[in-house]
């Protein structure tokens, strides 16, 4: 499903992936770092996301005010994001912008300034962002359910961090986090577009080759113990709408059960994107999904959604429902749990499984619809799962049987493996 990828490793350990696509005179550059909220300990939650913000605030070679114009002058697109396993930066522009884009990413990797005034200004911005997110009841319930589902693994921390840490973290704390994880040995550079692979590799070597190799120790992450009983989160919040979320511990991207769980998610709530970025690009096809028919078509819920994406360690499969008009939250909760228990006990029908697999194949094609999306797909899966995992995913999904879906439903949708959250409007 992806174009032929040319792989190389620079002497300093930087992984480079190049894919030639000559359909348009454009090139997309992604630089991925294996650092996210998974890598944050006490006092440093939110550091990866904060560092991402700071890494647009000026380097030795690019003044803070010029970062945006650096790509804008080529009519290009740029962005970045942080999640639990990774931080990434992207720029897509005309092919003559390749060298400036590589220069910008090399500067970001090794020469960011973290000026004290900019650091303090960004603290205010991020705390405001956090508080704004907490004003969204659905987002707030998501954070609380996740933090309750995980008792030991650092996946329990929200990517934006906990407010107490954001208020006390020092500039040296944050800069130390940057210096620890922003190293060639912890990064993957992806170049996709109208380029010659040999020339692109030479340009990557010229811009990144002089950055010193530094070993990056991601530290030991405490494995999450098996959950031994259902957990509940019950919240009351001022508002008019009720929400329910049910989270189950679920397999990582490299686990043999990952593909059957993708199909199960698609059966229940419609096929989404296979990574965190693509999963929000357009609504899932839900009209014939199991939970849509059980809850939305009957007027019990105004909306249902599912979330299951590739992660480095076992994360969560989460199902969400928004209460319909006049429907009590606890009533909706019980109806949702009953529908999930039915799938756990009976599995899915052959028609549901076949439809889910077709939808997933279509989503994979859509996710490879531009050089920017292809660059994301390459870097995302290599960061969380290693080379080759995405290439095998299409065949893994095609091989999923009705029996496989029934098996993972029985295993993962068990009552002792779930955390149930409800938010009632006051």
Q: Quick one: 239 and 355 in the same domain?
A: yes
Residue 361: inside a domain, yes or no? Answer: yes
Q: Quick one: 194 and 244 in the same domain?
A: no
Residue 221: inside a domain, yes or no? Answer: no
Mean pLDDT by groups of 10 residues along the chain of 426 residues: 88 97 96 97 97 96 85 88 97 96 97 97 97 93 98 97 98 97 97 98 98 87 96 95 98 97 97 73 82 97 95 97 96 98 98 97 87 94 90 94 98 98 95
Q: Quick one: 260 and 135 in the same domain?
A: no
304-342 confidence digits (pLDDT tens): 999 999 999 999 999 999 999 999 999 999 999 999 999
Residue 218: inside a domain, yes or no? Answer: no
88-118 confidence digits (pLDDT tens): 999 999 999 999 999 999 999 999 999 999 9
Report how many domains make up the chain.
2
Residue 391: the pLDDT is 87
Residue 10: inside a domain, yes or no? Answer: yes
Q: Which residues contact 159 (CB under 8 A, 6 or more apart)?
A: 36, 37, 46, 48, 49, 82, 83, 84
Residue 23: the pLDDT is 93
Domain boundary (208, 242, 270) is at 208
Q: Quick one: 192 and 271 in the same domain?
A: no
Given a contact cutoff of 8 angstroms between Cβ atoms, the answer to whether 211 and 106 are in contact is yes
Residue 253: the pLDDT is 95
Residue 71: the pLDDT is 82
Q: Quick one: 153 and 81 in the same domain?
A: yes
Report percent pLDDT > 90 for the chain: 86
Residue 225: inside a domain, yes or no? Answer: no
9: containing domain: 5-208
Domain of 272, CATH number, reads 3.30.830.10
Q: Quick one: 283 and 359 in the same domain?
A: yes
The phi and psi torsions of 327 (rounded to 5 degrees) equal: -100, 125
Q: Quick one: 339 and 200 in the same domain?
A: no
- Its pTM stands at 0.95
Q: Quick one: 43 and 164 in the same domain?
A: yes
Q: Quick one: 148 and 259 in the same domain?
A: no
Residue 215: inside a domain, yes or no? Answer: no
Residue 399: inside a domain, yes or no? Answer: yes
Q: Quick one: 260 and 369 in the same domain?
A: yes
Reading the block at residue 250, the tokens are 């679920």
Residue 179: the pLDDT is 96
Report the 3 state secondary structure along the chain.
CCCCEEEEECCCCCEEEEEECCCCCEEEEEEEECCCHHHCCCCCCCHHHHHHHHCCCCECCCCHHHHHHHHHCCCCEEEEEECCCCEEEEEEEEHHHHHHHHHHHHHHHHCECCCHHHHHHHHHHHHHHHHHHHCCHHHHHHHHHHHHHCCCCHHHCCCCCCHHHHHHCCHHHHHHHHHHHCCHHHEEEEEEECCCHHHHHHHHHHHHCCCCCCCCCCCCCCCCCCCCCCEEEEEEECCCCCEEEEEEEECCCCCCCHHHHHHHHHHHHCCCCCCCCHHHCCCCCCCCCHHHHHHHCCCCEEEEEEECCCCCCCEEEEEEEEECCCCCHHHHHHHHHHHHHHHHHHCCCHHHHHHHHHHHHHHHHHHCCCHHHHHHHHHHHHHHCCCCHHHHHHHHHHCCCHHHHHHHHHHHCCHHHEEEEEEEEC
Distance CA 272, CA 266 (A): 7
Residue 216: inside a domain, yes or no? Answer: no
Domain boundary (176, 208, 240) is at 208
Q: Quick one: 16 and 106 in the same domain?
A: yes
Q: Quick one: 71 and 184 in the same domain?
A: yes
Domain boundary (193, 208, 223) is at 208
Residue 13: the pLDDT is 97
């Amino acid at each position: 499903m992806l174009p032929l990828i040319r792989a190389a490793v620079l002497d300093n350990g930087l992984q480079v992936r190049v894919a030639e696509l000559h359909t348009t005179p454009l090139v997309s550059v992604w630089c991925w770092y294996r650092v996210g909220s998974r890598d944050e300990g006490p006092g440093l939650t939110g550091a990866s996301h904060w560092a991402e913000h700071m890494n647009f605030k000026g380097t030795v070679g690019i003044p803070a005010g010029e970062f945006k114009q650096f790509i804008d002058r080529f009519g290009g697109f740029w962005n970045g994001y942080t999640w639990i396993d990774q931080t990434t930066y992207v720029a897509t522009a005309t092919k003559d912008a390749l060298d400036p884009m590589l220069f910008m990413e090399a500067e970001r990797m090794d020469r960011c300034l973290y000026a004290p005034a900019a650091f303090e200004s960004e603290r205010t911005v991020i705390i405001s962002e956090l508080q704004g997110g907490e004003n969204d009841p659905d987002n707030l319930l998501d954070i609380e359910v996740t933090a309750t589902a995980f008792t030991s693994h650092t996946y329990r921390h929200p990517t934006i961090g906990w407010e107490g840490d954001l208020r006390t973290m020092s500039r040296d704390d944050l800069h130390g986090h940057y210096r620890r994880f922003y190293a060639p040995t912890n990064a993957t550079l992806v170049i996709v577009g109208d380029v010659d692979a040999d020339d692109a590799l030479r340009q990557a070597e010229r811009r990144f080759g002089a950055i010193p190799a530094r070993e990056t120790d991601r530290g030991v992450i405490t494995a999450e113990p098996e959950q031994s009983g259902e957990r509940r989160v019950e919240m009351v919040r001022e508002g008019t709408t009720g929400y329910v979320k049910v989270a189950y511990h679920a397999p990582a991207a490299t686990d043999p059960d990952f593909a059957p769980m993708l199909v199960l998610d698609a059966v229940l709530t419609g096929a989404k994107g296979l990574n965190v970025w693509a999963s929000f690009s357009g609504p899932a096809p839900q009209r014939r999904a199991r939970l849509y028919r059980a809850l939305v078509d009957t007027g019990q819920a105004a909306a249902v959604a599912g979330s299951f994406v590739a992660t480095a360690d076992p994360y969560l499969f989460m199902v969400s429902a928004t209460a319909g008009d006049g429907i009590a939250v606890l009533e909706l909760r019980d109806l949702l749990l009953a529908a999930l228990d039915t799938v756990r006990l009976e599995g899915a029908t052959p028609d549901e499984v076949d439809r889910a697999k077709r939808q997933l194949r279509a989503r994979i094609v859509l996710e490879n619809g531009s050089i920017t999306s292809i660059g994301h797909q390459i870097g995302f899966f290599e960061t969380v799962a290693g080379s080759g995992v995405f290439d095998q995913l299409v065949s893994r999904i095609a091989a999923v049987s009705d029996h496989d879906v029934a098996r993972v439903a029985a295993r993962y949708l068990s009552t002792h493996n779930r955390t149930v959250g409800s938010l009632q409007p006051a």
